[in-house]
Amino acid sequence: MSLIVNGQRIDSAVLDSEFAQIKNYFEHLGNVSCCERDPEFRGYARDNVVARALLSQEAQRRLQPIPDEEVEAAVQKLITDYGGEVQFYAASGARPDTMHLVRHDVELELRVRRMIEQLCADISPSEQDLRRYYDEHISSFMTDEQVRASHILKAPKRGEARAEAFEELRKVRAQLLTGEDFETLAKAHSDKADEHIDLGFFKRGELAEEFEIVAFSLNVGEISPVFLSPFGFHLITVTDRKPSVPKPFEEVRAEVEQRYRDEIRDKRTKALVEELKKTATVEEAEDVPAEAATV
């Protein structure tokens, strides 16, 4: 089904695309499986599409059209961001003969952006405002937890050698648990002993997930079980740890101010949408074969 927002038809393909992006986002977060939350996500998609349509219509009412040279510059930047015309056409579904529609959409987007800028032009946080925001959102301004680990790797190239490699590391682990030196045993048994014993400090997201799950679960000095990653069998010990701590305000002041401004901008934008909804007419309609308006 299409939507008609104050007379502007929005094709079902736009709603489907918005739904797919929302569902993909939640799937990557691990918060959804299969189709259990599809009705909820379709509701989000409908709300988002209606909000964009209302903001676009209000921007057209309030602001004069954006000069052609600004629109063209924005279009060229869009194409460049995609990596060139070929990639842009392939990813967007646009064609040379439909670029006028792309320019139309870009012009509307620029107008909406300018309207929101005007709506938020008076935001001028004081130092006290920023420090209060920093204190209230301190969890957003923390350093990454880091661990330092030493490592023994066995990477058998043949399938039949896997059991042998696993058993070798189990015996090495037994020796380590009696107090033998990790580096000495690593040099004798690791397939990459010369350069990959001490891995230094690392944070989450820098090494293989299987490796990080084990490393960040260990206490300093603890010996891991033998475990498997795509690189082979591992045996590790954590030698040091840097906990997550707040970054100094002075170090993150620019980020604090940007987040402060963004939060107020989002609140004002949502308030404007809610105000526009009070007088808006939103209807559902059957799709039509002709090209429909987009947002």
- pLDDT digits 0-9 by tens, 200-219: 999 999 999 999 999 999 99
pLDDT of residue 292: 43
CA 175 to chain centre: 43
* Structure token pair of residue 111: 């107008």
Buried residues in 29-63 as b, exposed as e (16+ CB within 10 A):
eeebeeeebeeebbebbbebbbbbbbbbbbbeeee
Contact partners, residue 185, CB within 8 Å, separation at least 6: 152, 172, 175, 176
- Domain at 144-242, CATH class: alpha beta
- Measured distance CA(88)–CA(78) in Å, rounded: 8
CA 266 to chain centre: 18
* Structure token pair of residue 74: 């924005």
Note the pLDDT tens digit of each residue in 99-158. Answer: 999 999 999 999 999 999 999 999 999 999 999 999 999 999 999 999 999 999 998 887
CA-CA distances (angstroms) from residue 214 to 12, 162, 189, 198, 294?
46, 20, 20, 16, 48
pTM of the model: 0.74
Locus of tokens 């050698």 = 161
pLDDT of residue 27: 82
pLDDT of residue 176: 96
- Coil, strand, or helix at residue 153? strand
CATH 2.60.120.200 at 2-123, yes or no:
no
Candidates 165, 153, 288, 158; CA nearest to 207 is 153
Q: Same CATH fold, 144-242 and 2-123?
A: no
What residue type is 192 in one-letter code?
A: K
- Flag residues of the chain having pLDDT under 50: 291-295
Query: 123: left (phi > 0), else alpha (psi -120 to 50), else beta?
Result: beta
What is the residue-wise DSSP string for 177-219?
A: HTT--HHHHHHHH-TTTTTSSEEEEEETTSS-HHHHHHHTTSP
Domain residue spans of the chain? 2-123, 144-242
